[in-house]
Amino acid sequence: MKARSSLKQEFLEKWRKGLQIGRNDSTILERKDAIKLSADVAIAATRNAATRWRRALLCDVVSKNPTNKHVVEQILGHKLKNTAATTRLTTACRRRILRRGQNYRRRKRNKRSRALRKLVPGGEEMDGVLLLQETLDYIVSLRAQVDVMRRLAAIT
Amino acid sequence: MNTGLPEMLHCLNSSTSENCEMSVLERQRSRLKQQQQQLSQNHPPIPYFNGNDHLAYSGFHVDQALSDLVLNGGAMKPDPGVEHHDFRRFMNSGSATTDFQMSSALPRTVSYTAAASVNSAPGKESCKKRKADRSPKIAAEEKKMKGCAEEESKITEQNSNSKSTTTTISTSANKNSKGASANGKKASDAPKADYIHVRARRGQATDSHSLAERVRREKISERMKYLQDLVPGCNKVTGKAGMLDEIINYVQSLQRQVEFLSMKLAAINPRLDFDIESYILKEMFPACPPAMEPDHSHLQFNTSVEEVSGSGLEMVVDPMDATLRRTISAPITAQQSFLNSSSLNQIQQVTWEDELRNLYSMEYQQGRSTFISQQITGFLEANHVKLEM
């Protein structure tokens, strides 16, 4: 499908850009981390990098290891704003949470939705409706990522 | 708006109802054909679903949009029960819905386009105004369905114009509809610019809390339906809990696959270069021009492509075993060219298989990916030590 393969192509291009940073890593572990990092950032930067989980993922990547910032910036093509983390909650989501009382909602969440929140990056701060929406988008992107990586691995 | 209603009812319930129905059905069919043509011409297929199903899903998306407006537009006297019933029937027919099924599903829900002629301008304007506040919401929700966004707005406008003729048409056309064709008793909210308008159904509580709750629940169920399409194996499980479990498993398995594949790629390439492969990969996407590769590599890669495309996206979880077995042999043969000690290869062979077996056994449990990565790092460090020695 044309649109789906363009997503994959975009992912591939960005992934290659990230890999070209070319740190000389000798061990498998370091190489694997570099590959995975570039792949994750690339998949988060595809389409419009505006959805919640993408921003959360990029923020996590940068905060875990500040040297990753170069990879992110190279792939994204522009500088990361430091306020990305604070703009995570959109006004509507924030309003919903505030309206219902944050603590009340947190107490009521069952273990499944907690499990899902742990999986989806940035899931802790989403409410139920948004969580499912973000999960949907995340699943699609993950699928594309896995598909491209699998094909690449099958070829080489 | 209500003046048009008695005429339509009269037409349908009269002794000459058959003629009216036929004309209505004909109109429905012609309209449906128009829509299908529009959908196929103007917009690319929806990116996230398989090629066979794109038309079905665009139809499904249209239904979703309709149900959105049905529930929230507030300008008509529709039958949400019928719509939901249609969705369920539509969904239960599985991902391989035929065109016939879709065309029979669509007239039921899109049937009120046939009655669009009845309506007047004021209804349209008020609906447009409310649709304006809904449209950013719709855009945010359906941004993934870009191809159908314009179509949706057109159709929702058309549908918002039609009125309660929906119930009569749909019940006459759809013999299987449940008894929820009891027309809802209306309780409308005060029309404010940034509120979502909801109609209460007959016999349900009408205070603001429960209405808001109901809206929220319906949004959640709508998204669960999308997820049901996307996650393989969700069709058998019904109910939010089971589906959430499936979704969680699926996301976990996808994340683990990413880890595993990145490790595999790291093991295969001693350096982080993928330039050659990118040319090859461009060949895999049909829209691109072919790369300039020698013939034997072309042949090899063709077989691998067939293998990979045979597995398909829908079977990600189930043939994990098969792919694991396939990939076990691949890195070993590749590594043999890079590493020169046979003993090391043997050790790696054994440990790879153990590792992958562990990975696969963990798949359906509630194991966390951190555990896997710890295992992997443990194994790798042991390997690293051996390499240094």
Which of A6 and B29 is assigned the larger pLDDT?
A: A6
CB contact under 8 A, A1 and B265: no
Per-residue pLDDT, B209: 85
Residue B360 confidence class, pLDDT cut points 50, 70, 90: low
Q: What is the pLDDT of residues A60-101, one digit of tens each?
A: 777 777 777 777 776 676 655 554 444 545 555 556 656 666
* Percent above pLDDT 90 for chain B: 3
CB contact under 8 A, A153 and B51: no
CB contact under 8 A, B287 and A5: yes
Residue B354 distance to chain A (closest CA, Å) = 18
Mean pLDDT of A35-64: 76
Query: For residues B378 and B374, what is the distance between their CA atoms, to the nearest angstrom?
Result: 6
Query: For residues B257 and A11, what is the distance between their CA atoms, to the nearest angstrom?
Result: 17
Exposure pattern of A70-81 as b/e (b: 16+ CB <10 Å)?
ebbebbbeeeee
- Residue A53 · residue A14 · CB < 8 Å: no
CB contact under 8 A, B272 and A154: no
**Is the Cβ of B347 closer than 8 Å to some Cβ of chain A?**
no
Cα-based angle B317, B321, B325 (whole degrees, multiple of 5):
140
Query: For residues B363 and A63, what is the distance between their CA atoms, to the nearest angstrom?
Result: 29
Residue A141 distance to chain B (closest CA, Å) = 10
Query: For residues A14 and B171, what is the distance between their CA atoms, to the nearest angstrom?
Result: 53
Which of A11 and A81 is assigned the larger pLDDT?
A: A11
Q: Which of A140-144, B163-167, B204-208, B328-332 has the highest mean pLDDT?
A: A140-144
Per-residue pLDDT, B258: 92
CB contact under 8 A, A155 and B280: yes
Structure tokens at B80: 């949400």
Q: Specify the DSSP element, H or E, that contains B184.
A: none
Q: Specify the DSSP element, H or E, that contains A147.
A: helix A128-155
Helix ranges, chain B (H):
4-13, 17-42, 54-72, 80-92, 99-110, 121-141, 149-161, 165-173, 208-230, 240-268, 275-284, 295-311, 320-338, 342-362, 369-388
Q: Which long-range contacts (CB under 8 A, 24 or more apart) does B288-295 make?
A: B288/A9
CB-nearest partner of A36 from B141, B258, B381: B258
Provide the CA B21 distance to its chain's centre, in angstroms. 33
* Percent above pLDDT 70 for chain B: 17
Which of B277 and B179 is assigned the larger pLDDT?
A: B277
User: B323: nearest CA in chain A?
Assistant: A150
CB contact under 8 A, A140 and B230: yes
SS3 category, A90: coil
CB contact under 8 A, B251 and A138: yes
CB-nearest partner of B220 from A128, A145, A149: A128
Question: Please, what is the average pLDDT of chain B?
Answer: 54
- Residue B55 · residue B39 · CB < 8 Å: yes
Best probe of the B interface among A14, A21, A43, A132, by most B CBs < 10 A, is: A132
**Is the Cβ of B264 closer than 8 Å to some Cβ of chain A?**
yes
- A77 dihedral zone (left: phi>0; alpha: psi -120 to 50; beta): left
Q: Is the pLDDT of residue B188 over 70?
A: no
Q: Which chain B residues are closer than 8 Å to A15 by Cβ?
A: 274
SS3 category, B205: coil
Q: What is the pLDDT of residues B91-141, one digit of tens each?
A: 444 444 444 444 444 444 434 444 444 444 444 444 344 444 444 444 444
User: B243: nearest CA in chain A?
Assistant: A112
- Residue B187 · residue B101 · CB < 8 Å: no
Residue A131 confidence class, pLDDT cut points 50, 70, 90: confident
Query: For residues B278 and B269, what is the distance between their CA atoms, to the nearest angstrom?
Result: 14
CB contact under 8 A, A5 and B285: yes
Per-residue pLDDT, B36: 66
**Is the Cβ of B286 closer than 8 Å to some Cβ of chain A?**
yes
CB contact under 8 A, B51 and A1: yes
Residue A82 distance to chain B (closest CA, Å) = 24
Q: Is the pLDDT of residue B260 over 70?
A: yes
Q: Which chain A residues are closer than 8 Å to B281 by Cβ?
A: 12, 148, 151-152, 155
Q: What is the pLDDT of residues B2-53, one digit of tens each?
A: 555 455 544 444 444 444 455 565 666 666 677 667 666 655 544 444 444 4
Mean pLDDT of B284-293: 48
Residue B253 confidence class, pLDDT cut points 50, 70, 90: very high
Per-residue pLDDT, B256: 93
CB-nearest partner of A112 from B141, B248, B316: B248
Query: For residues B143 and B138, what is the distance between their CA atoms, to the nearest angstrom?
Result: 8
Q: Which of residues 194-253 of B touch A (CB under 8 A)?
A: 216, 219-220, 223-224, 226-227, 230-231, 241, 244-245, 247-248, 250-252
Provide the CA B377 distance to its chain's centre, in angstroms. 36
Per-residue pLDDT, A124: 78
Q: Which of residues 297-336 of B touch A (CB under 8 A)?
A: 301, 304-305, 307-308, 313, 316, 323, 327, 330, 334
CB contact under 8 A, B254 and A140: no
Query: For residues B32 and B19, what is the distance between their CA atoms, to the nearest angstrom?
Result: 20
Q: Is the pLDDT of residue A148 over 80?
A: yes
Mean pLDDT of B321-350: 45
Burial of B345 (0-12, 13-18, 19+ CB in 10 A): middle
Query: For residues A6 and B279, what is the distance between their CA atoms, to the nearest angstrom?
Result: 15
Q: What is the DSSP letter of B115?
A: T
Per-residue pLDDT, B357: 54
